[in-house]
Amino acid sequence: MPETKKCTGPCRRTLLLSVFGKRREAPDGLQYQCPDCRNQYKREDYRKKSVQILQYQKDRRKRISASHGPNSLCPRCGTMCTLNRG
């Protein structure tokens, strides 16, 4: 068994097997990407998803305030709530 492995991420570097994390499903039992490439992917994915989540929350608040009016009973707690958040 070779003591090195090529990263399938953007860096395409050949690194020692000890650098790669474990992955049960992989044929060799190791991650496909090196830690640097995985971290880069996770950062980009987090930024992308956080923008989508913020937009979803903003749209949801608009839908709720449009259907219940600005000062109506909260469907969750039953109290008078104001939904005038930005």
Q: What confidence tier does 65 reach under pLDDT thresholds 50, 70, 90? A: confident
Per-residue pLDDT of 17-61, as tens digits, reads 999 999 999 999 999 999 999 999 999 999 999 999 999 999 988
pLDDT at 81 over 70: no
Q: What confidence tier does 79 reach under pLDDT thresholds 50, 70, 90? A: confident
pLDDT for position 55: 92
Q: What contacts 71, CB < 8 A, 6 or more positions away?
A: 80, 81, 82
* Residue 70 to residue 31: CA distance in whole angstroms: 51
